[in-house]
Amino acid sequence: MSLRTWPRLVTLEGGEGAGKSTVLAALRGAFEAAGIQAVYTREPGGTPLAEQIRGLMLDTQHEPATDETELLLAFAARAQHVRATVLPALQRGAWVVSDRFTDASYAYQGAGRGGDAAFIAELERRVVGIRPALTLLLDVPVDVGLARMRGRGAADRIESERNEFFERVRQGYRDRAAAEPARFEVIDAAQPAEAVAAQAVARLRALIAATAEGAA
Q: Would you tell me which residues interact with Mg ion (CB under 5 A)? A: 20-21
- Residue 160 binds ligand ADP (CB under 6 A): no
Give the nearest residue (CB) to ligand ADP: 19
- Residue 189 binds ligand ADP (CB under 6 A): yes
From the list Mg ion, ligand ADP, none, pick the one residue 100 interacts with, judged by a Cβ distance below 5 to 8 Å according to partner type: none
Contact with ligand ADP (CB under 6 A) among 148, 157, 174, 203: 148
Q: 3-state DSSP call for residue 6?
A: strand
- Write the DSSP string, 12-69: EEESTTSSHHHHHHHHHHHHHHHT--EEEEESS-SSHHHHHHHHHHH-SSSSPPPHHH
- Residue 16 binds ligand ADP (CB under 6 A): yes
Integer-rounded Cα Rg, in Å, for the chain is 17
From the list Mg ion, ligand ADP, none, pick the one residue 14 interacts with, judged by a Cβ distance below 5 to 8 Å according to partner type: ligand ADP
Please tell me whether 115 is known to bind a ligand: no
Instruction: Determine the Cα–Cα distance for residues 73 and 68; give it in Å rounded to an integer.
Output: 9
Closest CA to 103 of 184, 203, 181: 184
Comparison of 79 and 176: residue with beta carbon closer to ligand ADP: 176
Binding residues (CB under 6 A) for ligand ADP: these are 14, 16-22, 148, 189, 191-193, 196
Which residues are annotated binding-site positions?
14-21
Which residues are annotated binding-site positions for ATP?
14-21
